[in-house]
Structure 1
Amino acid sequence: MTTTITRSLPRLSDGIEADLQHAIPEGICRTFRVMPYVVHEGHVLVAAADADDSITEHVVSERLDRPVILVRHTVNEINEVIDEAYPPVEAEVESPEARRSRMQMAQMLTRSGLVTPEQLQRAMLEHSRTGDPLGDILVSHESISEDVLVAALSEMHQLQRVGLADFEPDYDLSRRLPERLARTLQVVPVAESDGEVFLAVARPLSTDDAVQVEAALGQPFRQLLANRTDLDQLLQRVHSSHYSDTSTQFLMDNFPEQSAHVVFSSVQKAFFVTAAVLLVVAAVIWPTTTAIGIVGVCSFVYFFVSVYKFRLTLRALGTHLETDVTDEEIAALDERTLPVYTILVPLYKEAGIVPRLVRDINALDYPRTRLDVKLLCEEDDDETIAKIKELALPPHFHLVVVPDSQPKTKPKACNYGLQLATGTFTVIFDAEDRPDPDQLKKALIAFDHVPDNVVCVQGKLNHFNQDQNILTSWFANEYSMHFELVLPAMGASESPIPLGGTSNHFKTSILRELGAWDPFNVTEDADLGIRLHREGFRTAMIDSTTLEEANSKVGNWIRQRSRWNKGYFQTWLVHMRHPVQLFRQTGLRGFLSFNLTMGSAFVLLMNPIFWALTTIYVVCQWGFIEDIYPSLIFYAASLMLFVGNFIFIYLNVAGSLQRGEFGLTRTAMLSPLYWGLMSWAAWKGFIQLFTNPFYWEKTEHGLDEG
């Protein structure tokens, strides 16, 4: 219901009732030029600059949840009372020029019938929360296409347009702008005539940006508006060789001792060869004594690794060691201040899962206009690339094609995408991931809560198909133990945390400075967690879960797990090249934690050997086996047989209980069988360390669409 001011109605100048002063959020008040001020005869009177606008009336009625009357007032009157209720912050208040552009855009699109009133209302509400351009909001929700928006901007700013879909650039000309400036401003030189450069731009440049560009070019230029997706693809083509070289070479060139491109250092080769020769000589001269020594060392390593994990679990069980973020803190976030967030999604041979991936990313509680989603595809993956192009995704999704080169690994693809990232923060999600919708906001708040040296926030991982079969249940048990107990305890004790492969959130600038991921390490996440710690940085855990697809087929599971174990061996070899330096950087606790954590992969190698010895002794009663187990070693090994298996079962039960997955605890009782599969995968990874160290075992996703 609307009306003009009459003497029968209270006036805005009479004052605003206290309980109405903040009844409508500031963003809506300023965007729609409204302010509720009094309750009159069962209706809320709302001062409105446009009292006849149905969208304004609908928005206000929804917020107040009671009958309203829009009462016409001047813009100046309304702005004055809004400023009293919400003292303005200059940087957050829309300028008159920006408001005129927004209203012009809205009128153009509605008069031409390109957007419906409902679409415009949704976009206006999002603008009231974020302050982002109305056109960009409409494009991100696919209410209009990017081409329609470019046409509207072209008319508003009187700029010509240029089509880049099939454009073949002059690379010398296109590279005249420094890559960083071109990427930051989203501009590319596309032609030159009469001493003037024609510059394809995603949006009209500000005065300051135009000055930067002209100084870099050294001559005048003319702006041509282009489709953002096409411009993004052109930028990638122009600078692909630079991105490819950097993604592979940066860590190796700048921090060679931290790169796994050499499996064994020369010192390590000499050490292991010498140790092997001495061991063989000792075995020939003193076979029984040597065997006793080997069994004894292995038994004690086994014991300390098991006890360390048990100790971490006891510390975390029944406690909450993650960085707390409350629902109230999330609700209180001012979306106008949210930074751009880059999401890296490596994809390979996963065309079928792309639609679901797009759906889940769009379900995140974060403004789409502030998302920078990089869909990272390998050049030879024609099917996935074609699927992404077919979907014609809005410009917050970026197709990134990684040139075909070795090593063909996930970390190299992530390094490639990171160079194109525009976000202040960066997170990795896998293709099948289903993160909690509020995870990005939780991570941002967590960064505010923790010390400045925390540059990574790790979310928890678990599985959405844990009940599919016994293998997926075991996998879920293991993840619950690792992410609910072990990692939170490691984070609380400031030990080096081997990161999970997904849902780790980084400060982008620090990640770049450190050289990001090692493209030659097939468990790049664990390695990066250790490198962060060695540089004095820390990782914090948050109570937010990303659900993944657990491998339901043994062969697929073995491929994935063998790669993980091979990466643990690589990571141990890299960081133990200089053990004294590692000790100095991490301290005694960190040094022990690193070795005991990486040592779990070596323990898995021991299992089949001990099981075989036990079986042979029981069946054949070989005296030699009895000889290599003198009393001390026998009791230690017997203790590990019972205590080790108990600890392994207990850890899996405890993790599921901590997460509240009580139905999984029964499968945890059969965990020793799962341990056998883990040992199989560990030996496969260990052999590959010598035969094919950088080979990335592909894990198939989309086997369960539950």
Structure 2
Amino acid sequence: MTTSIHRTGSRRLTDGLESAAATLLPEGICRTFRVMPYASQDGEVLVAAADADDEITLQVVSERIDAPVVLVRHTANEIVAAIDETYPPVEDELETVEERRTRVQMAQMLTRSGLITNEQLQDAMLQHARSGDALGEILVANSAISEDILVAALSEIHQMQRVGLRDFTPDMEVARRLPEPIAQRHQVLPVADADGTLLVAVQRPMDAELLEEVEEAVQQPVRQLLANRVDLDELIQKVHGDHYSELATSFLMENAPEISAHKVFSTGQKVVGIGFLVLVAVFMVVSPMNTLIALVGLASAIYLVVSVYKFRLTLRALGTHLEIEATPEEIAALDERTLPIYTILVPLYKEGNIVKRLVRDMNALDYPRTRLDVKLLCEEDDVETIDMIKSMELPPHFHCVVVPDSLPKTKPKACNFGLQVARGKYCVIFDAEDRPDPDQLKKAIIAFRQTADNVACVQGKLNHFNQDQNLLTAWFANEYSMHFELVLPAMGAAEQPIPLGGTSNHFKTSILRELGAWDPFNVTEDADLGIRLHREGYRTAMIDSTTLEEANSSVPNWIRQRSRWNKGYYQTWLVHMRNPIGLIAKIGLKDFISFNLTMGSAYVLLMNPIFWSLTTLFVFTQASFIQALFPGLVFYVASAMLFVGNFVFIYLNLAGSLQRGEFGITRTALLSPLYWGLMSWAAWKGFLQLFTNPFYWEKTEHGLDEEEVH
């Protein structure tokens, strides 16, 4: 393709627009670069340009029009009028005169000083054309310039004084004059009082409306000082950290104690539990064999019902796609100017070794970086991870959030703390080792737009990137495929209460705050939150997007993780079964049964070793008392449990991997009864901890090198 620059064409824009030519360039390109294709002449496309000599403009236009291009000089007013005719303007989406002046000055200042290259400027301008975000913010997000350089440039353009906050010790009385919600929402913080004028640090110059709001809140005149956004963010956390920590720990406990796990057993549950044990003891004295037969029969029946329930869910989902799907065309059609800020909460603890990989994977997301709000949640005593994050000098869409050291030291408490400083309309949790599909955030937004208003959460699917590492990781991947490809989609389609996965659950931030977010005392906070959402009339939908995690390849590490999950399932069941009648009234009998068969299934794992021991002992000893435990109907129920239960467990693991197309690990599902043994081991460990250390968070080690995985 040949291109040329021409200043005086024989045909002018004022002669009229040819409809076929007018839409050759998208609106964002036209408005950003002040260009407008208006006619075809002698095999060339005539494009009106305010600056026909600009090389970047020529390159951008010629790369997007499949014909030789001639730039024809026109006035900016003529071009804007033609653009408005072709693309009727939406007032809130238009760049203001002041914003454009700042953008042009910024570009000139940075290029003339050699701080950015023409290539970096062109890339940033194209991103601005798509998203409408400020040029300086885009350059910082792309690491083309530092935050300090941007602040210096804005200071020069707006003739505003700067203030350094890196080693600043705030006067708390002054710093807290501005109410926390305003300080956090607008990133504004008072730093000094100078003879009745309050000096406030701001990340970007405030407009007249915001300045008036701040002055009204503090009841005195205000002068703005530009500050580094990262330093200001950390200072606001320091000033209001105690408040955030209190909310993160006690909000749910104080506002809805009946559904908080801060008490393991309610008084009623203690009375019922002790009463049941006493009753069993009495019957054991009066008629020991009949009592044992009754207990075996009851356990067998529960076991059988749970197995049939999961089998039924699987059959409904098998061979179908019950998740919400977003087509490539729908994703491409999203207007980036309308995309909201999206908060990503990433809890970290002793994981400094994988921070670089985490940053790489977050930056790989197909979402404007200027609209990302990534909160790296670090515990105060995890100095190694905090130092690693700070040493990387990350762009400001990454925020290091330091959670004050207090009990309980759990992931949900850290997430609650992060939620206090979240800026996004939507938020999602990712773990440090997660690798979400690049378009997952956009798929979640499409899902929220397509579903009913009461859908407060959309859950992505989880699986593993190291499933081929060993037998344990293959079993783990089989289980995840079953759970996220079959069981949860079927539950979501039936609008049943869904126990959320640990990551990739996307929320409407306002509803999450309304519910008190996560229970800091529940060690499987995601499952509990899924039930609480359902209790309040909200629903969860599944989306067809996958996040790959690192499967535990070590049995001790796996046991630590799984015992915590089971303990959290026990906690969740106990919390929501404190008032069974009230729960039925809230969610209905059908969902009540579903909840018990889902959460209560963790108790089924406790039965496995008992039945396996009885079976093994009978095989080797032919003990008559064991045979006597299974008379008539009990024997048939137990036999059905043995065959149906094991068949269902193997079938589910096979079906999940087949549904996902992971044919290489399906054969390992045939050995999954051995995996069931590990699950029972972890279940017993978690059950015992329920009495000895209920809020202890067993740390799962992550950070497997990619070379080891592949």
Q: Does 1:374 align with 2:369?
A: no
Q: Does 1:491 align with 2:492?
A: yes
The 2-side partners of 1:655 and 1:265 are apart by 38
Q: Which residue does 2:333 correspond to in 1?
A: 332
Instruction: Kindly provide the amino acid, as one letter, of the partner of residue 482 in structure 1.
Output: H
The 1-side partners of 2:79 and 2:631 are apart by 90
Stretch moving more, 589-598 or 87-96: 87-96
| Kept in 2: contact 1:2–1:71 (CA 8 A) | no
The 1-side partners of 2:410 and 2:612 are apart by 35
- 1:373-522 equivalences under 5 Å are 373-522=374-523
Instruction: Kindly provide the amino acid, as one letter, of the partner of residue 486 in structure 1.
Output: V
The 2-side partners of 1:617 and 1:630 are apart by 15
Deviations 1:632-654 (A, max 9, x none): 11111111111111110110111
Normalised by the size of structure 1, how large is the TM-score? 0.99
Q: Which residue does 2:17 correspond to in 1?
A: 16
The 2-side partners of 1:196 and 1:79 are apart by 42
Q: Which residue does 1:242 correspond to in 2?
A: 243
| Secondary structure, counterpart of 1:498 in structure 2 | coil
**C-alpha displacement at 1:315, in angstroms?**
0.3
The 1-side partners of 2:211 and 2:15 are apart by 49
The 1-side partners of 2:173 and 2:293 are apart by 69
Deviations 1:421-455 (A, max 9, x none): 01000100000000011100110110011111000
**C-alpha displacement at 1:2, in angstroms?**
4.4
| Kept in 2: contact 1:2–1:52 (CA 8 A) | no
The 2-side partners of 1:354 and 1:600 are apart by 36
| Secondary structure, counterpart of 1:669 in structure 2 | helix
Stretch moving more, 224-233 or 95-104: 95-104
| Kept in 2: contact 1:33–1:48 (CA 8 A) | yes
Q: Which residue does 2:111 correspond to in 1?
A: 110
**C-alpha displacement at 1:579, in angstroms?**
0.2
Deviations 1:661-681 (A, max 9, x none): 111211111111110110000
The 2-side partners of 1:413 and 1:65 are apart by 52
- 1:607-618 equivalences under 5 Å are 607-618=608-619
| Kept in 1: contact 2:22–2:39 (CA 8 A) | no
**C-alpha displacement at 1:43, in angstroms?**
2.6
| Secondary structure, counterpart of 2:457 in structure 1 | strand
Deviations 1:313-343 (A, max 9, x none): 0000011111121111111111111111000
Q: Which residue does 2:139 correspond to in 1?
A: 138
Q: Which residue does 1:307 correspond to in 2?
A: 308
Q: Which residue does 1:318 correspond to in 2?
A: 319
The 1-side partners of 2:450 and 2:499 are apart by 22
The 1-side partners of 2:68 and 2:285 are apart by 95
| Kept in 1: contact 2:606–2:684 (CA 8 A) | yes
| Kept in 1: contact 2:7–2:52 (CA 8 A) | no
| Secondary structure, counterpart of 1:223 in structure 2 | strand
Runs of at least 5 residues in structure 2 that lack an aligned partner in the other structure: none
The 2-side partners of 1:465 and 1:72 are apart by 58
Instruction: Kindly provide the amino acid, as one letter, of the partner of residue 431 in structure 1.
Output: A
| Secondary structure, counterpart of 1:46 in structure 2 | strand
| Secondary structure, counterpart of 1:427 in structure 2 | strand
Q: Which residue does 1:172 correspond to in 2?
A: 173
Q: Which residue does 1:160 correspond to in 2?
A: 161
**C-alpha displacement at 1:206, in angstroms?**
1.0
| Kept in 2: contact 1:163–1:227 (CA 8 A) | yes
**C-alpha displacement at 1:197, in angstroms?**
1.2
Q: Does 1:252 align with 2:253?
A: yes
The 2-side partners of 1:367 and 1:6 are apart by 38
| Kept in 1: contact 2:4–2:68 (CA 8 A) | no
Instruction: Kindly provide the amino acid, as one letter, of the partner of residue 698 in structure 1.
Output: K
Q: Which residue does 2:73 correspond to in 1?
A: 72
**C-alpha displacement at 1:203, in angstroms?**
0.8
| Kept in 2: contact 1:5–1:11 (CA 8 A) | no
Q: Does 1:654 align with 2:664?
A: no
Instruction: Kindly provide the amino acid, as one letter, of the partner of residue 446 in structure 1.
Output: A
**C-alpha displacement at 1:703, in angstroms?**
2.1
**C-alpha displacement at 1:4, in angstroms?**
4.0
**C-alpha displacement at 1:217, in angstroms?**
1.0
Aligned length: 705
The 2-side partners of 1:515 and 1:3 are apart by 61
Q: Which residue does 2:91 correspond to in 1?
A: 90
Stretch moving more, 15-24 or 348-357: 15-24
Runs of at least 5 residues in structure 1 that lack an aligned partner in the other structure: none
The 2-side partners of 1:704 and 1:369 are apart by 30
The 2-side partners of 1:2 and 1:32 are apart by 17
**C-alpha displacement at 1:191, in angstroms?**
0.9
**C-alpha displacement at 1:362, in angstroms?**
0.7
| Kept in 2: contact 1:653–1:668 (CA 8 A) | yes
The 2-side partners of 1:76 and 1:380 are apart by 59
Q: Does 1:547 align with 2:548?
A: yes
The 1-side partners of 2:434 and 2:489 are apart by 21
Q: Which residue does 2:124 correspond to in 1?
A: 123
Deviations 1:280-305 (A, max 9, x none): 11112111000001000000000010
Q: Which residue does 1:265 correspond to in 2?
A: 266
**C-alpha displacement at 1:5, in angstroms?**
4.2
The 2-side partners of 1:122 and 1:503 are apart by 30
| Secondary structure, counterpart of 2:588 in structure 1 | helix
Deviations 1:328-372 (A, max 9, x none): 111111111111100000000000100010011111111111111
Instruction: Kindly provide the amino acid, as one letter, of the partner of residue 654 in structure 1.
Output: A
**C-alpha displacement at 1:704, in angstroms?**
4.0
The 1-side partners of 2:287 and 2:67 are apart by 92
Stretch moving more, 250-259 or 85-94: 85-94
Pairwise CA RMSD: 1.0
The 2-side partners of 1:39 and 1:552 are apart by 63
| Kept in 1: contact 2:7–2:71 (CA 8 A) | no
Q: Which residue does 1:209 correspond to in 2?
A: 210
Stretch moving more, 154-163 or 56-65: 56-65
**C-alpha displacement at 1:67, in angstroms?**
2.5
**C-alpha displacement at 1:192, in angstroms?**
1.1
The 2-side partners of 1:546 and 1:324 are apart by 15
| Kept in 2: contact 1:2–1:51 (CA 8 A) | no
Normalised by the size of structure 2, how large is the TM-score? 0.98
Instruction: Kindly provide the amino acid, as one letter, of the partner of residue 505 in structure 1.
Output: H
Q: Which residue does 2:64 correspond to in 1?
A: 63
The 2-side partners of 1:214 and 1:46 are apart by 48
| Secondary structure, counterpart of 1:261 in structure 2 | coil
The 1-side partners of 2:247 and 2:501 are apart by 24
| Kept in 2: contact 1:3–1:72 (CA 8 A) | no
The 1-side partners of 2:653 and 2:132 are apart by 47
Instruction: Kindly provide the amino acid, as one letter, of the partner of residue 290 in structure 1.
Output: T
Instruction: Kindly provide the amino acid, as one letter, of the partner of residue 502 in structure 1.
Output: T
Stretch moving more, 106-115 or 13-22: 13-22
Q: Does 1:625 align with 2:626?
A: yes
**C-alpha displacement at 1:74, in angstroms?**
1.2
Aligned residues with identical type, % of pairs: 72
Instruction: Kindly provide the amino acid, as one letter, of the partner of residue 642 in structure 1.
Output: F
Q: Which residue does 1:573 correspond to in 2?
A: 574
Q: Does 1:277 align with 2:289?
A: no
The 2-side partners of 1:644 and 1:591 are apart by 22
Deviations 1:197-239 (A, max 9, x none): 1111111111111111111111112111000000000000000
| Kept in 2: contact 1:316–1:488 (CA 8 A) | yes
**C-alpha displacement at 1:164, in angstroms?**
0.3
Q: Does 1:38 align with 2:39?
A: yes
| Kept in 2: contact 1:260–1:520 (CA 8 A) | yes
The 2-side partners of 1:66 and 1:603 are apart by 69
| Secondary structure, counterpart of 2:310 in structure 1 | helix
**C-alpha displacement at 1:479, in angstroms?**
0.5
**C-alpha displacement at 1:39, in angstroms?**
2.8
Q: Which residue does 1:296 correspond to in 2?
A: 297
Runs of 4+ with deviation above 6 angstroms: none
| Secondary structure, counterpart of 2:345 in structure 1 | strand
